[in-house]
Structure 1
Amino acid sequence: MSVEPPEYYFRIRENGAVVFHVNTENRQRRIDMDQIAVVNVNKQEIKPHGSRELSAEDLAAIEAWMEKRIALLKARTLDDIHSAVDHLNKTTQWAQSKASDEESAEITDTLLMTMNDLRTVLVRKKADQVMKAQAKSDS
């Protein structure tokens, strides 16, 4: 039983991927990968490799991959934030019940500055949300 490789392969890299067209149509049935594009998910750019022109099928496959990748990265970011909340709670418990005076002194200033920075950003964003909601209800 043989499993056919996918038509496209996306080599993940910082901010996107290098896109290859996968070809097994040769005598040895070896997998040949031909680079066709570079994708930047942050800028949502697709740059053909060299002088290649991408077909409508190529573009559709790349755009579908980009959409899935962006959704995955957003989900991972939210998961990271939820994990950070868990870590903050564990840190609070550690500081209250287990931290020695030396350990507490080592992290207190840095942690307080970080938490102050986070609080400032969150309060500002919350105020903006309230103002926008209020402006909508006034109009």
Structure 2
Amino acid sequence: MAGDLPEYYFRVRENGANVFRVDSENRQRRIEMDQIAVVNVKNGEIKAQGDHKLTPEELSEIKRWMEARTALLARRDIDDIHRAVDYLNITTQWIQSKATDEQLDQVTDDLLLAMHDLRTVLVRKKADRLLKSQEG
């Protein structure tokens, strides 16, 4: 089992992770995790933990993880939007085929405001992109 463990463990937290060095080659044959850093993927900050001085190898591994994590979060963001489109379609079908008057009374105003807000932002962003493409 010890050979299968990674050298570093990243405990994900909001905006980043706590970074641990994994040690299973000790006398008690227990897994020990020593925290070596805290990272923030939003601003790229890497802070060594306590008196620990990060080695070039540790920094390289942390930066590699940060790049992979940023890419994963970007993929999740777009996937969430695709799901939102599906959910809007499912909501439309529910409203058309199953919703009662009481249910519609509960959701109509909120849905109309949210859709109006979304449409306004989408139209503005599309116009900005069209203007930018015509200028460039």
Q: What is the TM-score with the length of structure 2 in the denominator? A: 0.95
Structure 2 CA distance for aligned equivalents of residues 37 and 15 of structure 1: 14
Q: Aligned residue for 2:132?
A: 132
Structure 2 CA distance for aligned equivalents of residues 54 and 3 of structure 1: 23
After the TM superposition, which parts of structure 1 deviate over 2 Å for at least 4 consecutive aligned residues? 1-4
- Match of 1:3, SS? helix
Q: Aligned residue for 2:22?
A: 22
- Tell me which amino acid in the other structure corresponds to 1:120: T
Q: Aligned residue for 1:92?
A: 92
Deviations 1:43-95 (Å, cap 9, x if unpaired)?
11111111221110000100010111111111111111111100100111111
Q: Aligned residue for 1:118?
A: 118
User: Which structure 1 residue ranges, 5 or more long, are not aligned?
Assistant: none
CA RMSD of aligned residues (A): 1.2
- Tell me which amino acid in the other structure corresponds to 1:10: F
Structure 1 CA distance for aligned equivalents of residues 2 and 73 of structure 2: 32
Structure 1 CA distance for aligned equivalents of residues 106 and 62 of structure 2: 48
Q: What is the TM-score with the length of structure 1 in the denominator? A: 0.93
Structure 1 CA distance for aligned equivalents of residues 45 and 124 of structure 2: 32
What is the CA-CA distance between 1:4 and the residue it aligns to?
3.3
Structure 2 CA distance for aligned equivalents of residues 41 and 56 of structure 1: 19
Structure 2 CA distance for aligned equivalents of residues 91 and 69 of structure 1: 32
Q: How many residues align?
A: 136
User: Which structure 2 residue ranges, 5 or more long, are not aligned?
Assistant: none
